[in-house]
Amino acid sequence: MRPPALLRFLLVCTSLAFACAAGAQVPTQRGALRLIVGYPAGGSADVQARTLADKLAAELGTAVVVENRTGAGGQIAADYVRAAPADGLTVLLANMHMMVMLPLTSKSVHYDPVKDFQAVGRIATFYEGIAVPAALPVRDVREWLALARSDKSRASYGVPAAGSVSQFMGFRLGSDAKVELTAVPYRGAAPLVQDLVGNQVASGITPIADLVPYQQSGKLKVLAVNGDRRASLLPDVPTLKELGQPHFDNLEWTGLFVPAATPAATVQQLNIALGKALALPEVQDRLARLSSDANPSTPQALSALIADDLKRWGPVVKASGFSSE
């Protein structure tokens, strides 16, 4: 009698496990999954979301609708998703600025990137580049820093936004080299690059998406990029690591997030769907046209990356004295 009783027990346990797993799946019968983006339509984050939407829908068996909730550098979108039902039907597409830099730089941020969200997985990574006007008489980062040291009028560097990773990259580069560099915040990368091309600002640090065509046409010079290997779009440009700067290995990134109470099985289901979407050549090609590399990860790896980024940049932000208030 013991084996049948044991078998019945195991069958009951297995049935309960499947029932729990099924109950934790994305409830597709309730309607569309909403993919929340904190930036306007047409921007790189929005394009990433719309590139993924149909692919995620095919994997999850439900419609995926992209919803732009703009404002405050992405804070409005993050606050919205933080307070949403934790059922997997409301998903945030966020970047490093939203989940690392804003919590470090702005007192108005009400969310905790670690406690208020569960990471689903990374989408992509992208490079920052240090660029100067074509007419500036420097050939590399060392010469750029030497010129900034000797000529204060050449010590300014444009950044696409106040409090961005770009700004603190410049601060740390100057601090390490004992050169007083001055950040000049712009409203986006496009006007910064136009001023670089027009020789209106001495240098700039910004994601390479806007730099690549001007580097290729000789209208500006990209002196270096971050990361632990060269950017495929700029194979002749060295990394800061190659030039003896050890603090700039990590790239910027985008990823998907859900409210903190979302069941682990739901997070895993979303992660699997995201991984399958990012494996598709057409998705990789579309991301490449945004100067981003598809770079999927587990939820745990993205959570660890956020913790590392907070630890890496927190002391730099503090040392800079930056405040957005």
| Residue ranges making up the domain that contains 219 | 128-225
Listed residue (168, 192, 3) closest to 102, CA to CA: 168
Q: What is the pLDDT of residue 29?
A: 76
Question: Residues 220-239: pLDDT tens digits?
Answer: 999 999 999 999 999 999 99
Q: Name the DSSP letter for residue 32.
A: P
Q: What is the pLDDT of residue 18?
A: 39
Report whether pLDDT(292) > 60: yes
Q: Distance of CA 310 to CAs 104, 296, 325, Å?
A: 8, 20, 20
The contacts of residue 212 (CB under 8 Å, 6+ apart) are 233, 234, 291
- 142 and 278: one domain? no
- 152 and 191: one domain? yes
How many C-beta atoms lie closer than 10 Å to residue 198's C-beta? 11
Question: Residues 105-117: pLDDT tens digits?
Answer: 999 999 999 999 9
- 192 and 203: one domain? yes
Q: What is the pLDDT of residue 31?
A: 83
Lowest mean pLDDT among 6-15, 57-66, 154-163: 6-15
Question: Residues 8-63: pLDDT tens digits?
Answer: 443 334 333 433 444 468 887 778 999 999 999 999 999 999 999 999 999 999 99
- 44 and 72: one domain? yes
Lowest mean pLDDT among 20-29, 73-82, 94-103, 153-162: 20-29
Asked, for residue 42, whether it belongs to a domain, the answer is: yes
Lowest mean pLDDT among 23-37, 162-176, 298-312: 23-37
**Average of per-residue pLDDT across 206-213:** 94
Percent of the chain with pLDDT over 70: 92
- 84 and 136: one domain? no
- How far apart are alpha carbons 177 and 193 in whole angstroms? 25
**Average of per-residue pLDDT across 147-169:** 96
Question: Residues 256-283: pLDDT tens digits?
Answer: 999 999 999 999 999 999 999 999 999 9
Asked, for residue 18, whether it belongs to a domain, the answer is: no
Q: What is the pLDDT of residue 4?
A: 46
Report whether pLDDT(174) > 80: yes
Q: Name the DSSP letter for residue 72.
A: G
Asked, for residue 246, whether it belongs to a domain, the answer is: no
Q: What is the pLDDT of residue 14?
A: 36
Number of domains in the chain: 2
Report whether pLDDT(325) > 80: no
Q: What is the pLDDT of residue 32?
A: 95
- 48 and 107: one domain? yes
Q: pTM of the full predicted structure? A: 0.89
- 135 and 205: one domain? yes
Q: What is the pLDDT of residue 109?
A: 95
Q: Choose one of 225, 244, 277: the last residue of a domain.
A: 225
CATH number at residue 31: 3.40.190.150
Q: Which residues pair with 206 in a beta bridge?
A: 129
Q: What is the pLDDT of residue 13?
A: 42
**What's the mean per-residue pLDDT of the chain?**
91
**Average of per-residue pLDDT across 83-92:** 97
Q: List alpha helices for the chain, DSSP H.
A: 2-23, 44-60, 75-82, 96, 102-105, 141-150, 165-177, 189-197, 212-216, 264-278, 281-289, 299-320
Start-to-end CA span in the chain (Å): 73
